[in-house]
Structure formats: structure tokens, C-alpha cells
Amino acid sequence: MASSILVLITKPPYGYEEAFAGTRLGLGMLSSGNVEKCSILLVGDGTLNAIATQRPEAVRMPSNMEALQDMTDFDSKVYCVRSDLEERVGDVKTLGFIEMIDWETARKVLAEHEMVTTF
């Protein structure tokens, strides 16, 4: 009987629907009252969702930034592996509500959740 689930986002924004869909899943879990804890961890290309200067209206897509921020309304955490982001685009401005972490911390976050689902 799981009471916690981690949403692991590995896909970049505005191409695949995955990052948005993963966040919606997270919100669904949190709003249900059935699942106590749900966090989001951005890894690999998924870290590109943490970039603060995204302008999704340019491609008429809903904002992944807003969707991720909605998680914080439930006191839920959004984490991003800093090294994966830097490896891809260097040192860029990231969204303030996202906690930038290293891989060792990411593994601890992983261990705090019973289930993991990947997007």
C-alpha cells in the first residue's frame, strides 16, 4: 500500500507532452487525499523544464513552469539535478521554487518515496 510516489521527469518541455503530463499526475495524486506524498525530480533532459526564461506561448503550449509551480501549492517539492542541466545548457537562470540538488541528494529523494513513475 503505497503512500508516496516520485514523478521522475526525463523529457524536455514543448515537444513531448510527458513533462506536463507528469506534473498533472503529481497534482492528481496530491489533490486526491489518497496519496500522502508526491514530489517531482527533474533529471536528464527533464532538467530543461527548470529554465526560468521559457516562453511556451511562442508555440501555443501550456506552461510547464506554471504546472510545476502548482505542485508547491500542496507543499510539495520539485527537485532538479543541477549537473544534468549544466551539462546541457551551461549556467542558466532556474525557477526559484525548484530545489537544485546533486545526484547524491537525488538518490536520497528517490529513497523517500515508495513508487517511482517516469515521464
Provide the mask over 75-104, with x wherever binding to another protein is found by CB under 8 A and - wherever it is not.
Answer: ------x--x------------------xx
- As given in the structure block, the three cell numbers for residue 83 are 549537473
Q: Does 31 bind another protein (CB under 8 A)?
A: yes
Among 66, 73, 86, 114, binds another protein (CB under 8 A): 114
How many angstroms from the chain centroid is the CA of residue 113? Answer: 15
Strands of the sheet with 37-42, listed across from one edge: 99-101, 78-81, 37-42, 4-9, 115-118
- Size of residue set near another protein by CB under 8 A: 36
CA pair distance 27, 42, nearest whole angstrom: 16
Q: Does 63 bind another protein (CB under 8 A)?
A: no
Among 61, 69, 88, 110, binds another protein (CB under 8 A): 110
